[in-house]
Chain A
Amino acid sequence: MNINKSNPLLLHPLNKWMKKKKWSWFPHQIETFHYVRTGSDVVVFAPTGAGKTLTGFINPIDDLIKLTKFKGLHTLYISPLKSLANDIVRNLEKPIKELDLNISFQVRTGDTTPYKKQKQKQKPPNILITTPESLALLNSYENAKEFFHNLKYIIIDEIHTFLDNKRADLLSLNIERLQTFSPNLQRIGLSATLKNKQDAKKWLCRKKPKIVSYENSVLPKIKILESKERIPWSGHMATYSINEIYKEIMKSKLTIIFVNTRAQAEYMFKNLWLINKKKLKIAVHHGSLEKNLRLKVENNLSKGLVDCVVATSSLELGLDYGDVEKIIQVGATKGINRLLQRVGRSNHNLNTPSKAILVPTNRFEFIEAKAAIEEIKKNNLDKIDLKEGSFDVVAQHIFATACAGQFNINDLYKEIIKAYPYKKLKLNDFKQLINLIQDGGYILKNYDQFKRIFQLKENKNIYKLVNKRETRKYRMNVGTIIENPMLKIKLGTKTLGNIEEVFIQNLSQGDSFIFAGQVLEFQSMKNNLVQVKRSKSLISKIPSYSGGRMPLSTNLANSVRALLAKSNMWDLYPEQITEWLKRQKYISKIPKKDEYLVEQFPRKKNFYTVIYTFAGWHANQTLGFLLLRGFKEFNYKPLGFVANDYAIVLWSLKEVKEIKTILNLGLLDKHLDNYLEETSIVKRLFRDNAIISCLIERRLPGMEKTGKQVLFSSDLIYTVLKKNEPDHILLKSSYEDAKKNMIDYDRLREILKKIDKKIILKKLTSISPLAVPIILEINRENLSKKETDEYILEDLENEILKEANVLSIN
Chain B
Amino acid sequence: MYYQLINFGNEEFHAYPNKSLYWKRLNTLIVSDLHIGKSISYAKNKQFLPPYDTKEILNKIFVSLDKIKPSNLIVVGDLLHDVFSTLSIKDQDYKNLSQYMKNTDFIWIKGNHDKNIQIEGIKNFTNYKIEKFLFTHIPIETSLFQICGHYHPKVKISHRGKTIFKTCFVHNEKIFILPSFGILTGGLDIHSKQISDVLGKNNLSIYPVGQDKVYKL
Residues of A that sit less than 8 Å from B by CB: 439-442, 444, 446-447, 450, 452, 466, 470, 473, 502, 505-506, 695-697, 710-713, 716-717, 720-721, 723-725, 728, 784-786
Contacts and interface: CB of A to CB of B under 8 A. Distances in A.
B121 interface: no
Interface in B40-62: 40, 42-53, 55-56
Contact of A720 (B42, B48, B56): B56
Given A444-B52, A721-B50, A439 B184 contact: no
B146 interface: no
Nearest to B183: A720
Interface string B140-172: 000000000000000010101111000000000
A440 B43 contact: yes
Nearest to A451: B46
**Most chain-A CB neighbours within 10 Å: which of B40, B52, B55, B88?**
B52
B52 A723 contact: yes
Contacts of B183: 716, 720
A785 B159 CA distance: 10
A719 to B, nearest CB: 8
10 contacts: A439-B48, A440-B48, A441-B48, A442-B52, A446-B40, A506-B161, A506-B162, A716-B184, A721-B50, A784-B160
A contact face: mostly helix, strand, loop, or mixed: loop
A473 to B, nearest CB: 7
B184 to A, nearest CB: 5
Contacts of A470: 46
A452 B40 contact: no
A720 B48 CA distance: 13
A681 B51 CA distance: 24
A786 B161 contact: yes
B40 to A, nearest CB: 6
Interface string B62-82: 000000000000000000000
Contact of A446 (B45, B46, B88, B158): B88
B210 interface: no
A696 B156 CA distance: 25
B158 A506 contact: yes
Interface of B: 39-40, 42-53, 55-56, 87-88, 156, 158, 160-163, 183-184, 186
B51 A710 contact: no
Given A450-B44, A450-B46, A784-B161, A444 B51 contact: yes
Find the residue from A441, A444, A697, A723 having the highest chain B CB count within 10 A.
A444
Contacts of A696: 47, 49
A442 B160 CA distance: 41
Contacts of A725: 50, 52
Given A439-B43, A446-B40, A505 B156 contact: yes
A92 B188 CA distance: 53
Contacts of A785: 161
A717 B161 CA distance: 27
A470 B47 CA distance: 11
A744 B50 CA distance: 30
Contacts of A695: 47-48
Nearest to A730: B50
B38 to A, nearest CB: 10
B50 A440 contact: yes
A440 B161 contact: no
B53 A720 contact: yes
Give me the 10 closest cross-chain CB pairs, A-B, nearest first.
A440-B48, A446-B51, A785-B161, A724-B52, A450-B43, A447-B43, A784-B160, A721-B50, A784-B161, A452-B46
A720 B47 contact: no
A446 B47 contact: no
A473 B46 contact: yes
B118 to A, nearest CB: 21
A713 B167 CA distance: 14
Nearest to A785: B161
B46 A717 contact: no
Nearest to B45: A710
A717 B50 contact: yes
Nearest to A728: B50
Q: Which of B48, B52, B161, B162 has the most CB of A within 10 A?
A: B48
A786 B159 CA distance: 11
A442 B49 CA distance: 9
B47 A442 contact: no
Contacts of B87: 446
Contacts of A724: 50, 52, 55-56
Contacts of B184: 712, 716-717, 720
A452 B44 CA distance: 9
Contacts of A450: 40, 43-44, 46, 48
Contacts of A713: 186
Contacts of A728: 50
Contacts of A710: 42, 45, 47
A642 to B, nearest CB: 17
A532 B90 CA distance: 52
B48 A442 contact: yes
A399 to B, nearest CB: 10
A470 B48 CA distance: 13
Contacts of B45: 710
Given A440-B43, A712-B184, A720 B50 contact: yes
A506 B42 CA distance: 32
Nearest to B56: A720
A399 B53 CA distance: 26
Contacts of A442: 48, 50-52
A153 B161 CA distance: 54
A786 B43 CA distance: 46
Contacts of A447: 40, 43, 48, 51
B37 to A, nearest CB: 10
Contacts of B162: 506
B48 A697 contact: no
A506 B162 CA distance: 7
Q: Which of B51, B87, B156 has the most CB of A within 10 A?
A: B51
Contacts of B161: 506, 784-786
A442 B39 CA distance: 12
A786 B160 CA distance: 8
Nearest to B184: A716
Nearest to B46: A452
